[in-house]
């Protein structure tokens, strides 16, 4: 069992944290008590999401195996996923153990080489194969100035990976009958202008509502909603896909208004508590642990490496506020792959069903994930998401039918950083060779 270090002192940046709490209602200290009670209740009632999944590994050297397995309980195979598996040239399960060990060694060498070439300060990579953690390694320095080594408990910003947590929390409320995906937004957020009133929750969750991706001024979400509400939609609702962080901030407000509780409190109750993700919060909240990686920028590779500030989580809110560790994200992925966190229908909505646009085209992204067969991985069905803000590059790539995944975190954002996790996934679950330009992994590098 992993023993996660708890904060030894109160977080720094106290004024910023207090402002964040009071202005957005993101966190309640009293929730720690109720979370403990909820966890105990889950254990007694048998609603234990942790049953059967493998705790993540620790250590600064590559771990190439892990004891235990997680049962593949995900049975939501769509016809397209089944067809993709039939056409797979090299599924992960077809590779011998010795060959797979060689693949992991080549992946390790590839990461070391690309970190040196790209001047990446810190990076963590974890690989799950057939329900087992077969590789987990931290690389580089979490802080160059302090010579602080990166570890599997180093806290990195997640940026838009937060949307996957928001979507999962949303679907749990749908399961409870508290939210309807085809309900109008006006049912949950009052006093909206007419264009925003009729947007559906499903359209927001699939980025097809026509919500703009930019506004004149970006401020804390508690003040941003009114500005957004008076900004015209950019397309007819349901007609086209447009990645907009504001769509997922609206969903965060829906979650808060329905439950009458802070957004992060619901995420803790739904995901973080049951999966023992004790090092997942915001960079501000985790600052006092001494484990938050320093964010860096280099002008997308066009300038010198420099220390920068993380984006204010009060601005990003439910579209990009979270931060986490490699260990915690292993728990997260195992939890999702267990098939126990939401209903079977909700899993179909999360990973397989993509709402059709009014044009007849399929929406490429929905509920936090891009999904479909991936040629770089032998045509296997892949769901994936990236997150990116200055100083944050995060990726999760899941092969739900193979019970396998790749998880990567870094404190430097530029396109070649994302290519590392894509290459690792292709090398682990595709041909085994490092392609010069691996097929783009579904996801989004859009900032939040």
Please provide the average confidence, as pLDDT, over all residues in the chain: 83
Q: Does residue 325 contact residue 258 with C-beta atoms inside 8 Å?
A: no
| Contacts of residue 185, Cβ cutoff 8 Å, sequence gap at least 6 | 192, 196, 197, 198, 199, 200, 201, 204, 250, 254
Q: What is the DSSP string of 333-371?
A: HHHHHTT-SS-HHHHHHHHT--PBPTTSPBPSEETTEEE
The arithmetic mean of pLDDT across residues 104-131, rounded, is: 97
β-partners of residue 136 are 126
Domains, the chain, ordered by start: 14-79+107-173+252-429 (3.40.710.10), 174-251 (no CATH)
Q: Does residue 56 contact residue 365 with C-beta atoms inside 8 Å?
A: no
- Name the pLDDT band for 39 (thresholds 50, 70, 90): very low
Closest CA to 250 of 235, 233, 236: 233
pLDDT confidence of residue 437 = 56
pTM passes above 0.75 = yes
- Name the pLDDT band for 431 (thresholds 50, 70, 90): confident
- Name the pLDDT band for 56 (thresholds 50, 70, 90): very low
- Name the pLDDT band for 93 (thresholds 50, 70, 90): low
Q: Does residue 319 contact residue 163 with C-beta atoms inside 8 Å?
A: yes
What are the φ/ψ torsions at residue 427 (nearest 5 degrees)? -70, -35
- Output 30 or 222, whichever has higher pLDDT: 222
**C-beta neighbour count of 375 within 10 angstroms:** 15
pLDDT confidence of residue 66 = 36
324: which 2 tokens?
């986490």
pLDDT confidence of residue 102 = 95
pLDDT confidence of residue 216 = 85
β-partners of residue 11 are none
Least confident of 19-33, 166-180, 190-204, 347-361: 19-33
Alpha carbon distance 441, 420 (integer Å): 11
Q: For residue 283, is pLDDT > 50?
A: yes
pLDDT confidence of residue 439 = 53
Dihedral over Cα of 301, 302, 306, 311: its sign: negative
Share of the chain above pLDDT 90, in %: 72
């Amino acid at each position: 069992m992993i023993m996660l270090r708890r904060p030894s002192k109160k977080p720094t940046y106290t004024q910023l944290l207090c402002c964040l709490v009071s202005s957005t209602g993101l966190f309640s200290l009293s929730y720690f008590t109720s979370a403990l009670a909820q966890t105990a209740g889950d254990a007694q009632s048998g609603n234990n999401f942790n049953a059967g999944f493998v705790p993540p590994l620790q250590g600064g050297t590559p771990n190439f195996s892990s004891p235990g397995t997680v049962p593949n309980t995900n049975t939501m195979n769509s016809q397209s996923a089944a067809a993709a598996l039939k056409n797979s040239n090299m599924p992960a399960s077809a590779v011998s153990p010795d060959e797979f060990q060689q693949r992991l060694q080549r992946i390790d060498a590839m990461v070391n080489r690309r970190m040196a070439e790209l001047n990446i300060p810190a990076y963590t990579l974890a690989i799950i194969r057939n329900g087992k953690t077969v590789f987990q390694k931290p690389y580089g320095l979490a802080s160059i100035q302090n010579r602080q080594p990166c570890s599997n408990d180093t806290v990195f910003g997640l940026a838009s990976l937060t949307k996957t947590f928001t979507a999962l929390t949303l679907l749990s409320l749908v399961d409870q009958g508290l939210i309807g995906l085809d309900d109008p937004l006006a049912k949950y957020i009052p006093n909206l202008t007419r264009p925003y009133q009729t947007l559906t929750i499903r359209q927001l969750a699939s980025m097809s509502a026509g919500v703009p991706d930019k506004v004149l001024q970006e401020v804390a979400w508690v003040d941003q909603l009114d500005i957004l509400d008076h900004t015209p939609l950019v397309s007819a609702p349901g007609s086209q896909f447009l990645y907009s962080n504001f769509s997922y901030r609206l969903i965060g407000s829906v979650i808060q208004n329905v439950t009458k509780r802070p957004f992060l409190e619901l995420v803790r109750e739904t995901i973080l508590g049951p999966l023992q993700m004790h090092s997942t919060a915001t960079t501000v909240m985790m600052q006092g642990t001494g484990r938050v990686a320093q964010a860096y920028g280099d002008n997308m590779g066009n300038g010198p490496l420099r220390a920068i500030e993380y984006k204010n989580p009060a601005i990003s809110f439910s579209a990009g506020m979270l931060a986490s560790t490699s260990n915690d994200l292993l728990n997260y992925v195992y939890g999702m792959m267990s098939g126990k966190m939401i209903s079977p229908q909700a899993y179909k909505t999360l990973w397989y069903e993509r709402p059709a646009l009014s044009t007849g085209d399929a929406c490429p992204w929905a509920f936090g994930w891009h999904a479909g067969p991936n040629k770089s991985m032998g045509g296997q069905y892949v769901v994936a998401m990236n997150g990116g803000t200055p100083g944050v590059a995060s990726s999760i790539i899941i092969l739900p039918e193979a019970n396998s995944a790749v998880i990567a975190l870094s404190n430097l954002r530029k396109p070649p950083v994302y290519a590392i996790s894509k290459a690792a996934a292709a090398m682990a679950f595709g041909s085994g060779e490092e392609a010069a330009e691996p097929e783009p992994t579904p996801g989004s590098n859009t900032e939040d």
